[in-house]
Structure 1
Amino acid sequence: MPRFSVIVPVHKVQAYLHACLDSVLGQSYRDIEVIAVDDRSPDGCGAILDGYAARDERVRVLHLPENVGLGRARNAGMPLATGDYLLFLDSDDTLTPGALRALADRLDETGDPDVLVFDYARTYWWGGTRRNALARVLAENGDGTFTAAERPEILDLLMVVWNKIYRRDFVEREGFSFPPGYYEDTPWTFPVLLSAERVATLDRICLYYRQRRRGSILSTTSRKHFDVHEQYARVFRFVDARPALAHWRPFLHAKMGEHCLDILSKPDRLPPSDKAEFFRRTADMFRTYRPDGAQVPAELRVLEGGYAGYVLRRRAERTGRELVRRARQAHTTAAARAAAVRSSPRRPLDPELAVYSAFSHRGVLGDPAAIHRAARDIAPHIRGVWVLADEERAAGLPPDTEYVLLDSPGYRRVTGRATYFVNNVNWSGALVKRPGSVHIHTHRGTPLKFMGADLLGKPGARQGFDVPQMLRRADRWDHSLVANRHSELVWERAYPCHFASLRSGSPRNDVLALAGPDSGREVRARLGVPEGDTVVLYAPTRRDYRRDGLVERIDLVRFAADLGEGRTLVVRLHPSLADGPARGLGLAELHRRGVLVDATDEPEAQDVLLAADVLVTDYSSIMFDYANLDRPIVVYADDWDAFRASRGAYLDITAEAPGHVARSYRELAWLFDSGTWRDEEADRLRSAFRERYCEFDDGRAAERVVRALMLGEPVPAHSPDPARLPAQAAGRGRLAPS
């Protein structure tokens, strides 16, 4: 008996069917059966299914003699299922890598619940990916099992069949089945969740929900949308037959009204001539099923009136939205004019005012933060003010940190008067550089991939980048900080603007250049790393040959297991991936289960680097920072040719690597299993790399910037390489036991 029976109804999806089946059959977890139901598809789906069945004994195909629709096709597949759990997969959707293993592990962890609800992400025909907006509900309900009555927020999730798996004997005992018609998921999902005695959640994206360019069948214009009324009638009949569920009637009554009004509000659902009839039927049902004494939410009271009143309300809402849009547009224009007036040269610059920002106003971070700290010590007369995107960013700021919010009156005041501007990202195009102001651009690391004007020859990497606008903003730079001669040459070519390069070193790396034996101990404790473990940090970068930038290069569960006892895998995603679907594709769940440590949310990358004994990365510039610690680095370059072709690279990192290069997972695992990752050749490669790319990082970079660019003093000379100072070298090169 398999663990999972995956039921796939199939109709007119020949272009997507291979991807769907491959995503199931290619899973590392193989204890499954696939029941594919050919719903009399008129295209080549039947033959495709037969081909898969001939090649894989786990596939069973049922050819229906006539087209019965999605719900009844699922019904036809259920009697053939022998698995412990049922998973209904639409044939144009796909499972994410590792999904079935994650589901199986979660079932074991929660003791085989009746229903397990998992997360999904929408994937769009143009290449975009968007995670379920209510994913927090899954995370908040992640402990143990519960009933819908105990956690009613579970019913706020999308009421579909395919974001859940169901214990087969529970489904058979309750006699659940799908009705014919549109919205067939409604009379399945509500009864299932209301009846389940044990529900569990998995905060992991297990399914990609394909958004076709022409939409799904529910986005077509048809009278079949009237089916929604009968589907809700079925739900109410189910509840009426079970007195213990009677308390759910007010909730279901409101859900029905919301759902029907949502259908009516869509311009492409119903023929215009049918909208009044749809409204009347909805209003009739709303009155029929209204529980005694139930309060009607304000937004649903329109159903207590006539269709004419509904039309007037919709027009008023559209008019109101347009007025709000125009008001915002007028406000923006007025604010821009006011900012121009405030930045008039008639207001003198304040020689003791500096404005800082980092990573698009995310907080006190990176090089700007290091410079700010140095300025407070060396030039305390210079007032430093940070620009933050919103109040949420202010939480946890260092004590006595002054800040303003972007585009606020305070922001306009300080940017209109400041002399010094320090940023690692370009300032907004609306900020006018005044004569006498000093703009210091810190960059965000040593460049490996193409930047600035060099992107003009890489159209695939320019998504979201307006290179001419980028260069116009860079025209405001007075000084560009560099950590090595390589960076100096690249920045002057990539940004052909009027700035002077300062061989300062990277201020954020001062903490790495001066690290001692215990520098990372506090961070390791905060991350929960067991005492004495070797910390293996995996820090991948984004890919430009994927619109969302995410390419899963390593099976993290396998890697963590292959590292073995005494080694802790820590993962830090690229900042551009931190808030996207990447976290939902298993990383958050693996962190919760203790398989690895997700350090993506650690504010400072340098803290994570201090905690690591070895870095595994692909083409992230973080390797240039980490080299300051003189600890082993492994480059995982399994898609180097694709990366270089899509983005471009200033050096061949496989030929000038800071350590051993693995071109496959097998090679990567061998490097750690054999101990080769830290052999003499690794030391030799790292030494040559550090000599070239850590050239100006001596622990005094921030001081050098403040003295040279704010106080006008001579540029302090570079100290000898700290790696050659015995006391410090011993600390930086220290490795925990492996």
Structure 2
Amino acid sequence: MNKLVTIIIPIYKKEDTLASCLETVINQSYRDIEVILINDCSPDRCLEICNSYSLKYEFIKIIDLKENHGVSYARNQGLAIASGGYITFIDADDAVDAHYVRDMVKKIGEADILMTSIYRDYDGDVLEMTRYEAIDYIYRKDGYEGGVVGKLFRKEVAIENEFPVDIKIGEDAYYLFNCIQKSNKCIYYKKQLYHVRQSKYNSGNWMPFEKIYDTVRLLDYIIRKTNDTFGRCPQSAYEALFERSINVFMRSRYKDVPNEKKKRIRENIINYYKRFGIKGLPARYAISGITYLLFPTAYANVIYRIYIRS
């Protein structure tokens, strides 16, 4: 097995964090790596920073896109030229431990996908999971792990799938889900090796409703495909759909939501209560769901005002 690890980093408006991110990458204890930087026509100093590192380190490659296409297109360009037997994704505003790559390669064994903890540190155990268990785990309340960062993919699985360019929020969850569907074995390494940070620019802020609604569309797709494959779907995915349906109104005024989408959101909330009741739901979501069903306009407008002031 080719033990070269390809690290794919899409870049757009990250000049404030890019250099510190790359420092954690070039200082990896595991040296058999190639780093692909995709500059998505960033208008700041990102390309200049990329060039300064590529001049120093021959394992760094740069793809300089002449038009801005979005993170999905950028990651797909990285996948297209990846040489490694394994692939991992890092965001340009995040950081990784010095042994990030080494520990993942050491632990992955015969699995197609290794997932690490992103938001909290555990005991370092390794859990072998079926595909169904992996889908459940990435949506569990004890730490949402549904993106592509903090994971190691065997190349054959990684390149068999593409990031969807028509989904602006949740594209990484779509990709991860399809990789899990194509995998033979997944494992979860309960160790925090990847650290999520926040840059000044966040591509998820202030998007039109239809882009925000992508998260609801995505979970509808995942639940449908999981039911088709396994004849059932874990409660965690339904709960994620419930929460995303509620959270749509954090970034949308009620009047901006099309009537058919309001109907769909209402159905998602009612269907969850019918299927599972309120047991296990965080109190804020249980209360929010009931309040929305009773007073949708007032609830949505109040939540939106609170969000835009925060």
1:453-512, Cα deviation, whole Å (9 max, x unpaired): xxxxxxxxxxxxxxxxxxxxxxxxxxxxxxxxxxxxxxxxxxxxxxxxxxxxxxxxxxxx
Equivalent position SS for 1:185: helix
Alignment RMSD (CA, Å): 3.5
> 2:219 aligns to what?
232
> 2:86 aligns to what?
85
Structure 1 position 166, deviation (Å): 1.0
The residue type equivalent to 1:183 in the other structure is G
Q: For the Cα contact (< 8 Å) 2:94–2:196, is it kept in 1? A: yes
1:662-699, Cα deviation, whole Å (9 max, x unpaired): xxxxxxxxxxxxxxxxxxxxxxxxxxxxxxxxxxxxxx
Q: How much identity, in percent, do the aligned residues show?
A: 22
Q: For the Cα contact (< 8 Å) 1:12–1:42, is it kept in 2? A: yes
Q: How does 1:569-580 map to 2 (within 5 A)?
A: none
Structure 1 position 3, deviation (Å): 2.3
In structure 2, how many angstroms separate the alpha carbons of the residues matched to 1:200 and 1:188? Answer: 17
> 1:256 aligns to what?
241
Equivalent position SS for 1:211: coil
Instruction: Describe the shift of the 1:151–1:36 C-alpha distance in structure 2 as closer, same or farther (beyond 3 A).
Output: closer
Q: How does 1:20-169 map to 2 (within 5 A)?
A: 20-107=21-108, 111-121=109-119, 131=120, 135=122, 139=125, 142-143=126-127, 145-150=128-133, 153-155=136-138, 156=140, 157-169=144-156
Q: For the Cα contact (< 8 Å) 1:253–1:286, is it kept in 2? A: no
1:187-231, Cα deviation, whole Å (9 max, x unpaired): 12233334432111222221110034x673334464231222332
> 1:247 aligns to what?
232
TM-score w.r.t. the length of structure 1 is: 0.35
Q: How does 1:300-449 map to 2 (within 5 A)?
A: 309-311=294-296
The residue type equivalent to 2:99 in the other structure is G
Q: How does 1:463-474 map to 2 (within 5 A)?
A: none
In structure 2, how many angstroms separate the alpha carbons of the residues matched to 1:236 and 1:149? Answer: 11
Equivalent position SS for 2:231: helix
Structure 1 position 6, deviation (Å): 0.4
2:256 aligned with 1:274:
yes
Q: How does 1:626-637 map to 2 (within 5 A)?
A: none
> 2:306 aligns to what?
none
The residue type equivalent to 2:94 in the other structure is D
The residue type equivalent to 1:211 in the other structure is Q
Instruction: Describe the shift of the 1:215–1:284 C-alpha distance in structure 2 as closer, same or farther (beyond 3 A).
Output: farther
1:563-620, Cα deviation, whole Å (9 max, x unpaired): xxxxxxxxxxxxxxxxxxxxxxxxxxxxxxxxxxxxxxxxxxxxxxxxxxxxxxxxxx
For structure 1, the residue ranges without an aligned partner over 5 or more in a row are 122-130, 319-738
Q: How does 1:578-589 map to 2 (within 5 A)?
A: none
Instruction: Describe the shift of the 1:194–1:261 C-alpha distance in structure 2 as closer, same or farther (beyond 3 A).
Output: farther
Instruction: Describe the shift of the 1:246–1:39 C-alpha distance in structure 2 as closer, same or farther (beyond 3 A).
Output: farther
Instruction: Describe the shift of the 1:256–1:7 C-alpha distance in structure 2 as closer, same or farther (beyond 3 A).
Output: same
Structure 1 position 314, deviation (Å): 5.6
Q: For the Cα contact (< 8 Å) 1:74–1:178, is it kept in 2? A: no
In structure 2, how many angstroms separate the alpha carbons of the residues matched to 1:280 and 1:183? Answer: 22
> 2:186 aligns to what?
199
> 2:277 aligns to what?
298
Q: For the Cα contact (< 8 Å) 2:245–2:269, is it kept in 1? A: no
Structure 1 position 14, deviation (Å): 0.9
Structure 1 position 18, deviation (Å): 0.7
The residue type equivalent to 1:163 in the other structure is G
2:256 aligned with 1:283:
no
Instruction: Describe the shift of the 1:254–1:207 C-alpha distance in structure 2 as closer, same or farther (beyond 3 A).
Output: closer
Equivalent position SS for 1:34: strand
Q: For the Cα contact (< 8 Å) 1:279–1:307, is it kept in 2? A: no
Equivalent position SS for 2:188: strand
Q: For the Cα contact (< 8 Å) 1:11–1:40, is it kept in 2? A: yes
Equivalent position SS for 1:29: coil
Instruction: Describe the shift of the 1:152–1:178 C-alpha distance in structure 2 as closer, same or farther (beyond 3 A).
Output: closer
1:233-282, Cα deviation, whole Å (9 max, x unpaired): 44356447xx4333228664443222221343x3xx22454368554342
In structure 1, how many angstroms separate the alpha carbons of the residues matched to 2:246 and 2:89? Answer: 28
For structure 2, the residue ranges without an aligned partner over 5 or more in a row are 279-284, 304-310
Q: How does 1:588-667 map to 2 (within 5 A)?
A: none
Q: For the Cα contact (< 8 Å) 1:119–1:163, is it kept in 2? A: yes
How many residue pairs get matched?
A: 287
Q: Which has the larger radius of gyration?
A: 1
Equivalent position SS for 1:218: coil
Equivalent position SS for 2:129: coil
Instruction: Describe the shift of the 1:8–1:152 C-alpha distance in structure 2 as closer, same or farther (beyond 3 A).
Output: closer
In structure 1, how many angstroms separate the alpha carbons of the residues matched to 2:189 and 2:235? Answer: 28
Instruction: Describe the shift of the 1:78–1:238 C-alpha distance in structure 2 as closer, same or farther (beyond 3 A).
Output: farther
Instruction: Describe the shift of the 1:302–1:6 C-alpha distance in structure 2 as closer, same or farther (beyond 3 A).
Output: same
In structure 2, how many angstroms separate the alpha carbons of the residues matched to 1:275 and 1:115? Answer: 37
In structure 1, how many angstroms separate the alpha carbons of the residues matched to 2:295 and 2:15? Answer: 42
1:436-462, Cα deviation, whole Å (9 max, x unpaired): xxxxxxxxxxxxxxxxxxxxxxxxxxx
Structure 1 position 303, deviation (Å): 10
> 1:210 aligns to what?
197
Instruction: Describe the shift of the 1:168–1:220 C-alpha distance in structure 2 as closer, same or farther (beyond 3 A).
Output: same
Equivalent position SS for 1:60: strand
The residue type equivalent to 1:114 in the other structure is D
Structure 1 position 311, deviation (Å): 3.9
The residue type equivalent to 2:203 in the other structure is I
The residue type equivalent to 1:88 in the other structure is F
Equivalent position SS for 2:20: helix
In structure 1, how many angstroms separate the alpha carbons of the residues matched to 2:51 and 2:201? Answer: 28
1:330-388, Cα deviation, whole Å (9 max, x unpaired): xxxxxxxxxxxxxxxxxxxxxxxxxxxxxxxxxxxxxxxxxxxxxxxxxxxxxxxxxxx
Q: For the Cα contact (< 8 Å) 1:93–1:209, is it kept in 2? A: yes
Q: Which has the higher contact order (CA 8 A, sep 6+)?
A: 2
In structure 1, how many angstroms separate the alpha carbons of the residues matched to 2:207 and 2:88? Answer: 29
TM-score w.r.t. the length of structure 2 is: 0.78
Q: For the Cα contact (< 8 Å) 2:118–2:145, is it kept in 1? A: no
Instruction: Describe the shift of the 1:310–1:185 C-alpha distance in structure 2 as closer, same or farther (beyond 3 A).
Output: farther
The residue type equivalent to 1:102 in the other structure is D
In structure 2, how many angstroms separate the alpha carbons of the residues matched to 1:305 and 1:209? Answer: 32
